[in-house]
Amino acid sequence: MRISIVATILVFCAAHSFAQAEKARLKITPLMGDFYIYTTYNVYEGNYTPAHGMYLLTDQGAVLFDTPWDSTQFQPLLDSIRVKHQQRVAICIATHWHGDRTEGLAYYRKQGIKTYTTALTDQWSKKNGKKRAEFLMTKDTVFTVGKYSFEIYYPGEGHTADNIIAWFPNEKVLYGGCLIKGAEADNLGYLGDANVAEYETTLRRVQKKCSNPKHIIVSHHDWTNINSLKRSIKLARRLK
């Protein structure tokens, strides 16, 4: 009888965990004003792992930073923005070539959304069979969309050879993508495509460029802790 009860409890817990995972396919969280963080999920190394992106509302449509990791959430994200804010996505910018950033580019391009990466990201995407954007940036670029201006900045090699960040100097929002890890991180994550020798230098360029950020958005950790960049620099220094 006791064995049966224990087995039943284990089955219930497993089913509950699965149900929770199934429910957490897409999460949208307000950041500040017109800024929102969206989170999708995928299985990485056996773990159910979040991937954070961001979108910005403007009077010219929403600007999407990176794409969902889970392909089943490409359209639900667009639908959620339309229903929640009565806006369509006008622009999508991917911050490096890995699939957790670029997977939805082809889909969004077919929806009439202007998709962007750097030319360097496009080279790596082509080489590795990843989705590619319609428009390519050949240098650091300032976008002005509605009342908002932000800069796409390439600080150098780090997580990948092509990683970029988006910086909003007026709002002090730094979108760091996978280059920056969370303040609670024990390491810099996957380094198979990283430049470990340059990682610290690259992060210090970001720190110099983006002074006194109020928000730092990272891809796979807690984005509410402002100490993420400092922690990442410390971790990168250890690589040397």
- The CATH number for 36's domain is 3.60.15.10
Is the model's pLDDT at 64 over the cut of 90?
Answer: yes
pLDDT of residue 1 exceeding 80, the answer is no
Domain interval for residue 147: 26-239
Q: SS3 of 80, please?
A: helix
Q: Count CB neighbours of 214 within 10 A.
A: 12
Residue 16 lies in a domain: no
Assigned domain for 6 exists: no
Tokens of 24: 């957490």
> Does residue 19 form part of some domain?
no
> 93-146, pLDDT tens digit by residue?
999 999 999 999 999 999 999 999 999 999 999 999 999 999 999 999 999 999
Examine the pLDDT at 5 and tell me if it is beyond 50: no
Establish if 31 belongs to a structural domain. yes
* Residue 21 domain flag: no
Measured between alpha carbons, how far is 41 from 21 in angstroms, rounded to an integer? 9
Look at the chain and report how many structural domains it folds into.
1
Q: Where are the alpha helices (DSSP H) in 111-198?
A: 119-128
pLDDT tens, 6-43? 343 333 344 444 344 455 799 999 999 999 999 999 88
Residue 53 included in any domain = yes
Q: Is residue 11 in a domain? A: no
